């Protein structure tokens, strides 16, 4: 029984440590991605493939019908990019940490 409790405690500790390292990795990526760096890359020719090349793998892909990429950036904000399939971008928005959203200019 003692071995079981020890093994269970070890497994839970390892799992908790893994989650915290994932969170710190996500925070680091968001800190490196800034709106100032991403905004100039949002151009009329931007496709999902180009977005992955220029900006990186999105943090989330919540699209349904459209391809939507969400990138966490500095200040707890999120950049949303919308594509009609694998065609060039049709919309870009910035979601503030408080949930307010505004459209971004597609250059």
Q: For the segment 5-26, what is each residue's pLDDT rounded down to a tens digit?
A: 333 343 333 334 444 334 444 4
Query: Which pTM does this prediction carry?
Result: 0.71
Average pLDDT across the chain, whole number: 80
Q: Each residue of 75-92: b (16+ CB within 10 Å) or e?
A: eebbbbbebeeeeebeeb
- Dist CA 66 CA 82 (whole Å): 7
Specify the DSSP class assigned to residue 28.
H
């Amino acid at each position: 029984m003692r071995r079981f409790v020890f093994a269970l405690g070890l497994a839970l500790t390892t799992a908790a440590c893994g989650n915290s390292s994932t969170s710190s990795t996500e925070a680091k990526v968001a800190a490196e991605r800034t709106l100032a760096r991403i905004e100039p890359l949002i151009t009329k020719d931007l496709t999902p493939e180009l977005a992955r090349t220029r900006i990186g793998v999105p943090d989330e892909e919540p699209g349904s019908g459209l391809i939507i990429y969400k990138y966490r950036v500095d200040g707890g904000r999120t950049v949303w990019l919308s594509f009609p399939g694998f065609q060039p971008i049709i919309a870009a928005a910035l979601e503030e940490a408080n949930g307010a959203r505004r459209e971004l200019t597609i250059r």
